A and B are shown apart, each in its own frame.
Chain A
Amino acid sequence: MREVVVVGAGLAGVRAGESLRAQGFAGRLTVVSDERELPYDRPPLTKQLLSGTMTEADVRLAGAEDLGARWVRGTAAVGLDRERRRVRLADGAELPYDGVVLAPGAKARAWSGAVPRAGVLTVRGLDDVRRLRAEVDGGAREVVIVGAGFVGVELASSLSGLGVRVTLVEPFGRPLRALGGTVSGVVAEAAGRAGVVLRLGTGVRGFRDDGGRVVAVELVDGSVLPTPLVVVAIGMVPATDWLAESGLALPSGRIHCDERLFARSGGGSGAPDPRVVVAGDAACCDAVRAADGPVALEHWSNAAAQGELAARNLLAGPAAAEPYDHVPSFWTTAFGLRIKSVGLPGTGDRTVAEAGDPAGGAVLEAHYRDGRLVGAVSVEQGRLLSAYARRLRGERMIASGTEPSGT
């Protein structure tokens, strides 16, 4: 393999590049990014960077500059021609490849209806946080955040810490609901204590503006929240539009890959392409599955681990490639709480609080499906999680019929 192209210079893409070099790949490596920025890490954006305890220099992804790569910055990949083995770029250039790593990640999901020209933001990248910070520094003392997933909750925490009055609107009734009921309750309570106004169980009908600038949010229940600033935090969409003609399988917009991270072809054949590997938020991998099929992960540790393995497997080829066997793990911090999970907590049918004291803001909740452990979530009980991770690894080995190796 002499030419490798990596599309996307987020965590997954940069780790893939590092891993290629660590395996001794000495050929030409080209990294394509539609952002002009040097690679950076996303978790601190909504936490330390917005809060002001980290600078932009602190959030850069270390190691990117040492890849010995040719960088294409500020230019998107717009097509993948697998027959001719070329990545097509927005400026018309074509990059030939022997192998390609697809790591385009995701974009913030936009509001589906009409939105005022000014004052309504989404947050995914560094530029978004700069814009948000500029609004706050420019005098916005109030914000309505739509969506209480982890990004919405982190924003609520950081902005309230900056003295901004925050209203958090969540139509599905609970913050961080993917993590289970008890955890949700602990987070809601901490948010309330921090002065965040929670509007749970009611959705947004639309926005009012004055001369193009937002002035209020209208809720489905008829109430109107006056505000000079809105952040829409309703999840993400994989950045895979550009692959529509590639012939790859794209269920729900995710790039479907086999257990070894080779992209599967669409059109029913599902055959993995030995020259195309996938990693990160854009991937949906057969090795990460719940009872009813593969689950897409949108977590840091998954992007890091997949980037690393995808590159190794690309060089090794399908016959020698290793399956992806990472136990999912996620962390977030908000309102002074350290929240962490292992496994796939969202996929259980029963949750059991197994340690901690929810009233005191600490809980370890285990998630089971058909009596088998599928995940665990901790608030301030992080020391217990590695035992659950070990159990999850054991469950999986039993399910796949391999013997636990004793580690």
Chain B
Amino acid sequence: MKITVDHGLCDGLGQCALVAPEVFALDDEERLVVAPEAARGSAGKVAAAARACPVRAISVEGS
């Protein structure tokens, strides 16, 4: 699975982190950090996190 975040779009809203906290988290500056290795086996949750992003900054390829 390849997860891409468009950091130009991402506002650090953190909605993705609420849905899949093991993959998406915010750092101290409320910037998004992604742990793609944690996404293995949770394609459904990652897809749900992508849908939860209000600015559609997350795209997912493969599974």
Contacts and interface: CB of A to CB of B under 8 A. Distances in A.
Question: Do they bind each other?
Answer: yes
Contacts of B1: none
A308 B51 CA distance: 10
Given A340-B14, A386-B17, A386-B18, A43 B26 contact: no
Nearest to A63: B56
A37 B21 CA distance: 36
Given A300-B54, A304-B52, A382-B12, A342 B28 contact: no
Contacts of A342: 18
Contact of B28 (A43, A333, A383): A383
Contact of B15 (A41, A62, A329, A390): A329
A331 interface: yes
Contacts of A300: 54
B13 interface: yes
Contacts of B30: 338, 380, 382-383
B56 A62 contact: yes
Interface residues on B, range: 10 to 19
A43 B51 CA distance: 16
Interface string B34-63: 000000000000000001101010000000
A383 B51 CA distance: 20
Contacts of B56: 62
Contacts of B27: 383
A331 B10 CA distance: 14
A340 B18 CA distance: 11
A389 interface: yes
B25 A386 contact: yes
A327 B54 CA distance: 16
Contact of A385 (B11, B18, B28, B52): B18
A146 to B, nearest CB: 27
A301 interface: yes
Interface of B: 11-15, 17-18, 21, 25-28, 30, 51-52, 54, 56
Interface of A: 15, 41, 43, 62, 300-301, 304-305, 308, 327, 329, 331, 333, 338, 340, 342, 380, 382-383, 385-386, 389-390
